[in-house]
Amino acid sequence: MADSREVMNIRQASQYLGVSPDTLYKYVGEQKIPAFKLGNRWRFKKSRLDQWMEEKSSLMEAKGKKKPKAAAKAAGQQ
Give pTM, 2 decimals. Answer: 0.70
C-alpha angle 9/12/13, rounded to 5°?
A: 80
Angle at which helix 46-62 crosses helix 10-17, to 10 degrees, equals 30
Confidence band, pLDDT 50/70/90 cuts, at residue 10: very high
Look at 12-21, 23-32, 62-71 and tell me which has the smallest mean pLDDT.
62-71
- Domains of the chain by range and CATH? 7-63 (1.10.1660)
Question: Is residue 59 within 8 Å of 66, Cβ to Cβ?
Answer: no
pLDDT at 2 exceeding the cut of 50: no
- The predicted pLDDT at position 69 comes to 62
**Cα 66 to the center of its chain, rounded Å:** 21
Integer Cα distance of 39 and 34 in angstroms: 17
pLDDT at 51 exceeding the cut of 60: yes
